[in-house]
Amino acid sequence: MTATYELIGNKYKTLGFNNIANTLRELIEFAESQELSFLQFAELIATKEIERRNENRKKLYLKKAKFPAIKTLEEFDFSYQTTIKKKQIISLLDFTWIDNRDNLVFYGPSGIGKSHLGIALGVKAIDKGYKVLFINSNNLMEELDLAGMKNLLKQKIKSFCKYDLLIFDEMGYLPWQKKSVFNFFQLINSLYEHRSVIITTNKPFSEWGEFFIDETAATAIIDRIIHHCHIFPMSGESYRLKMQLDKQNSGGNL
């Protein structure tokens, strides 16, 4: 009987169904114990293979997304951040905005959860099968500038366009050089109406000219971002500071 399992398992491996091959004995034993019909067993095999492939895909997409840490919506304290409602964020989870190539912008002071929301939505998007990339805006600037110096800017932009959703974090914390703004404009122009972008920033659009140096370039970039965009202004005290104070207070009471 062992040889039969191995023989059939090898056939599944030849077909590329490694998950079925590795769990064949368990599947058959389960089918026998539940007295499944041939049709039900066939469905069981297909379902298990799809589930395992989805798990493997999610792991791969999460790795390629390059999140600095995994954040979830369940962890986000909506009671502390009162300027944005939970139902507003939940309404985004059908991801029609990605299908429609819309953008999201979260802006407000540091530490209030903008990056958390961006990452959490990115994780949820991966669960739904979308390809996501997270990148700090200053790292993005460096990557684009380096590609430009090597005459590889088009290739770099093309690699970004392979993702369904790009998350540009902490836009505006440091000023950019003119060449960086020009490179970023080319990226945004390529993504415009073809891919979705989430931007987190500490500055309203009226102040983007400060870190983009050039008002004309800033206007051109903003126009393309906000044409199809959901904008979420956020305010409040630093959530990170609150967490640190809570930790200290909790420790002091022990």
Residue ranges of domains in the chain, CATH in brackets: 2-62 (no CATH), 73-241 (3.40.50.300)
Using the predicted structure, report yes or no on whether residue 96 has a pLDDT greater than 70.
yes
Of the two residues 51 and 248, the one the predictor is more confident about is 51
**Cβ 121 vs Cβ 92: under 8 Å:** yes
Among the ranges given (34-43, 131-140, 167-176), the one the predictor scored with the smallest mean pLDDT: 167-176
| pLDDT value of position 246 | 57
Using the predicted structure, report yes or no on whether residue 162 has a pLDDT greater than 60.
yes
Using the predicted structure, report yes or no on whether residue 141 has a pLDDT greater than 90.
yes
Region 144-149: mean pLDDT is 96
Cα gap 227→230, rounded to integer Å: 9
Q: At what angle do helices 178-191 and 137-149 cross, to 10 degrees?
A: 100
| pLDDT value of position 238 | 61
Among the ranges given (12-21, 146-155, 165-174), the one the predictor scored with the smallest mean pLDDT: 12-21
| pLDDT value of position 198 | 98
Q: In the β-sheet with 229-233, what is the strand arrangement from edge to edge? A: 132-136, 165-171, 196-201, 103-107, 229-233
